[in-house]
Amino acid sequence: MTSLEWSSTPVGIDASRWVSRSGCRTVLVVAHTIASCHRLLDVVEHIESDPRIQLVFTVAPDVFNHHVTRLLDRLGALVLPWHQAVRERFDLGLAAAYGGLHQLHAPLLLMAHGAGHGKRVRPGPYGGPVLTDPPVYGLDAQRLTHGGRVLPAALALAHDHEVEVLRRQCPEAVEAAVVVGDPCADRLVASLPWRAEYRHRMGMDEQELVVVSSTWGRDGVFGRWPDLLPQLMTQLPPDRYRIAALLHPAVWDAHGHRQIRAWLRDCLDAGLLLPRPTEDWRGPVVAADHVIGDHGSVTAYAAAIGRPVLLLPGLRSLPAAGTPQHLLDTTASRLDPRRPLAPQLALPGEIDRQAVMGALTGRPGEAGMLLRRTMYRLLRLAEPGRHRQTGPAPMPDCGRASNDLAS
């Protein structure tokens, strides 16, 4: 569908002429990026099989939204163009990012797309005052309000301490807050019994899997330590180690898929596993024996399920206090890329996985149930039947991924 097209179904004044099922509640799933889309897909599975509900998707404005439509097309989702979505009314909107939300006409359930609200608001590129205690991103009035109006009808939070941050930063939104826990953490826990199968699908034998996780931006592993992956491929003997790189989807969007693979061509030729950004990253994390990461969400999730974690030095801004990212920053061992890497992998520091999991979610194992309850409340529908249990993450495909520059 091009930007000039308009969908006649399943919403709009003439939709009743064409649909086979009428009278459905319509839910708009607002996908800003690949990362936020993955979070929303975890959530919509709790309502999309209800015959009273019709899901439609839209791609919202975001600097990193380049490949979202392609992902949704591959999933078979019905996608409305953004210019149409902002001119229709919906019974519920779901979002895990913030761009353009004030234009929507729906009661909105808003959630984080990563491991809670761990980042602080970054200063703008053109100066302005430098704050000594910048607000926590996503719990601030700039993101949650517009024109004096609180945007979300329900603000899904991972932990009770986030309510207190919200009370300080945007007290007018506290009434919308509902602590639901973390659906991604729950899915990782559900995936742990499948570890051997994940490893098999990745082509692992008796080797140790080293997962390198990088968030986007200049503080991420890929931006700050560009030689790390080549060093790992050179220093770690392939008969003992396999290396997989999990790059944040925004890294791929910012530079282009062809360029990322070109930069890593020698590593790919040497056996680097490089899952595409549309693939689910959780299988490789469950399969990992070692995780090297930064302040991104994947590192926190890995530590929470007991994976040995080493952090790269060089973070320029501290994560928000009380978050799993802050806990890791103060307790995890550092990897020094200037020293031999194999001995450092053999001696990771101990991390209290229960403490990290406790910082991730205040409602362990309950996120799906609580999100479902919230969605049905906003839809003004009775919850049907039994709640669907959280299942494991999809099996990884990166063991067979091509190193073709165009893929």
pLDDT tens string, the chain, 407 residues long: the values are 444 588 888 988 888 888 888 889 999 999 999 999 999 999 999 999 999 999 999 999 999 998 999 999 999 999 999 999 999 999 999 999 999 999 999 999 999 999 988 787 776 555 555 555 789 999 999 999 999 999 999 999 999 999 999 999 999 999 999 999 999 999 999 999 999 999 999 998 889 999 999 999 988 999 999 999 999 999 999 999 999 999 999 999 999 999 999 999 999 999 999 999 999 999 999 999 999 999 999 999 999 999 999 999 866 667 888 889 989 988 899 999 999 999 999 887 778 999 999 999 999 999 999 999 999 999 999 999 877 789 999 998 864 444 444 44
Token readout for 118 is: 């761990």
| Structural domain count, the chain | 2
Q: In the block, which residue shows the tokens 């990290």? A: 356
Residue 371 shares a structural domain with residue 353: no
Token readout for 101 is: 């939300």
Contact 283, 395 (CB under 8 A): yes
- 15 secondary structure, DSSP code: G
Query: What HEC string does 314-364 produce?
Result: CCCCCCCCCCHHHHHHHHCEECCCCCCHHHHHHCCCCCCHHHHHHHHCCCC
Residue 335 shares a structural domain with residue 366: no
Residue 168 shares a structural domain with residue 68: yes
User: Which residues, including other chains, have CB under 8 Å from residue 389's CB and lie 6 or more apart?
Assistant: 190, 368
Residue 302 shares a structural domain with residue 248: yes
Contact 10, 26 (CB under 8 A): yes
Residue 166 shares a structural domain with residue 218: no
Helices (H) and strands (E) in the chain, counts: 18, 14
Give the residue from 41, 17, 61, 386 showing the smallest Cα distance to 183: 41
Report yes or no on 389 lying in a domain. no
Residue 216 shares a structural domain with residue 177: no
Residue 154 shares a structural domain with residue 54: yes
Whole-number pLDDT of residue 405: 46
Length of the chain equals 407
b/e for 142-173, b at 16 or more Cβ within 10 A?
Answer: ebbbeeeebbbbbbbbbbebbbebbeebbeeb
Beta bridge partners of 95: 30, 110
Token readout for 150 is: 């609180």
Where does 215-252 show beta strands of DSSP type E?
241-247
Residue 134 buriedness (CB in 10 A; 0-12 / 13-18 / 19+): middle
Report yes or no on 9 lying in a domain. no
Report yes or no on 5 lying in a domain. no
Token readout for 93 is: 């909107």
Report yes or no on 3 lying in a domain. no
- 102 secondary structure, DSSP code: G
Report yes or no on 10 lying in a domain. no
Residue 166 shares a structural domain with residue 286: no
* CATH number of residue 153's parent domain: 3.40.50
Largest CA distance in the chain: 68
Report yes or no on 321 lying in a domain. yes
Token readout for 388 is: 């669907």
Report yes or no on 390 lying in a domain. no
Residue 71 shares a structural domain with residue 211: no
Which domain, by its residues, includes 298?
A: 193-360+396-400
Residue 261 shares a structural domain with residue 328: yes
Whole-number pLDDT of residue 208: 96
Stated as kind and residue range, the H or E segment containing 188 is helix 183-191
Report yes or no on 335 lying in a domain. yes
* CATH number of residue 243's parent domain: 3.40.50.2000
Residue 89 shares a structural domain with residue 181: yes
Token readout for 32 is: 């800003």
Residue 30 shares a structural domain with residue 124: yes
